[in-house]
Structure 1
Amino acid sequence: MSAVLHSIAGSRSFRVNWLLHELGEAVEIVPYQIMDGSLQKPDFKSMSPARRVPALEIDGRVLYESGAIVQYLCETRGDHNLMPEVGSEERAEWLQWLHYAETIAAGIQNLNMQHLFLPKDWMKSPTVMGIETKRLAIALKAVESALSDGREFLLVSGFSAADVMMGFTLESASRYVRFDSYPLTAAYLRRIQARPAYKAAQDAEGPQQFYTQDFYDLPEQGA
């Protein structure tokens, strides 16, 4: 029986979708819309207490936290090299990158709220937007620094599930921080997006639902 992924196109659920494709796991995608009330339906609420995607039905259970799902899939599926073994030299680095993706994503979430989801201009704060954009730019420096030794992916050994967590995050980050100052990160993101499993996951999910612009500039103070 294939896994069932409850998903919103362009959300964190893409991480799970992409990883399942990297693993060659069959997945049925159940699509939702962020603003149509579908996340409030009783059936979905029983699977995801925060009423957010992803929610993954797999192995007779439901998991609803993307980082935990990524780690669970790596630990329960064999015949892959997406996770260093426990006790190996790269294990700690892998875990750190796996979760650092959410450090970056927290800033993106705050910017999404300001730029995309607050319906009236008077609700938005240019000051908050500026602070969060600066914090996001600072957080991205860790990725640029890690890639400065010539590695192609976050681990020296090559592509792993940490890149799955980070890749989706960087694509969203590029909507708010120009990557001109992060050339290694920009090249890294292009390598990730060229992976066959990434493209297959995009095709399975459909167009993202959030962004109507390639880039969102900060509003002028007082505008």
Structure 2
Amino acid sequence: MIRLHHVPWGRSFRVLWLLCEMGMPPDEIIRYRIGDRAMRGPGLMGVSPAGRIPALEIDGITVFESGAIVQYLCETREHLGLGRPPGDAERVRYLEALGFAETQASLIEQLNLNHLFLRPPARPSATVVKLNTLRLADTLRALEGMVAGDYLLPSGFSGADAMLGFNLFAAPYYVRMDPYPGLLAYWARLQARPGFQAAAAIEGPQEFYAKAFYEVPVDG
């Protein structure tokens, strides 16, 4: 029994995508919406102490935090070749990519908070939003340099692509992507993968972002 605690098109999509890549989509998906009381209820809090997604029930255990879940899945299904075990020549690069994914995602999370969740009379700080947007652009520039051939690792697709690649779903809502043609091509390759398409079909259309692009607000 594989049960995924999930917010559609949230960070937990990484786990859904990786499970589909592995040919083992969840038997059950428990869906939440950001801000719903259910995220503070015993169902999610019982498997994720901070009430955050994702959490995965698998192999008779529960794992929370997307990075930990990706590592666990790749290491316990090593025969699928989606992880890089200790001693592998790509191990360090693989671990760097897993960590960098959360550095980048934390900036997206801050922009989500400022653009989508602050409601009148609260107003986002234009200075803070501009700073985080510029920092996100810096990470995109770095990520473009990290792509080695078709994927992040020269040997091919790995769990690191599911971790970092998913950020490219959200980043274009805040940063114009024209300066990063390599990332646009990389994102197109990821979306063309059968595993990604299977996960996207489970998700359906995204309903999180109401605009095609969010400009930095103006003070005053």
TM-score, scaled to structure 1:
0.93
Counterpart amino acid of residue 180 in structure 2:
Y
Q: Partner residue of 1:156?
A: 154
Relative CO higher for 1 or 2, CA cutoff 8 Å, sep ≥ 6?
Answer: 1
3-state DSSP of counterpart to 2:29: strand
CA drift at 1:136: 0.6
Partners of 1:112 and 1:58 in 2: CA distance = 30
The answer to whether the 8 A contact 1:5-1:54 is kept is: yes
The answer to whether the 8 A contact 1:32-1:39 is kept is: yes
CA drift at 1:209: 3.6
Q: Partner residue of 1:127?
A: 127
Partners of 2:162 and 2:25 in 1: CA distance = 17
The answer to whether the 8 A contact 2:98-2:160 is kept is: yes
Q: Partner residue of 2:8?
A: 9
Counterpart amino acid of residue 88 in structure 2:
S
Partners of 1:206 and 1:62 in 2: CA distance = 26
Q: Does 1:145 align with 2:145?
A: yes
Q: Partner residue of 2:178?
A: 180
Identical residues among aligned pairs (%)? 49
Structure 1: runs of 5 or more not aligned: none
Aligned length: 219
TM-score, scaled to structure 2:
0.95
Partners of 2:25 and 2:158 in 1: CA distance = 19
Structure 2: runs of 5 or more not aligned: none
Among 215, 218, 223, the alignment partner of 2:216 is 218
**1:55-74 CA deviation, whole Å, 9 max, x = no partner?**
11111111110000000000
Partners of 2:115 and 2:66 in 1: CA distance = 23
Q: Partner residue of 1:208?
A: 206
CA RMSD of aligned residues (A): 1.4
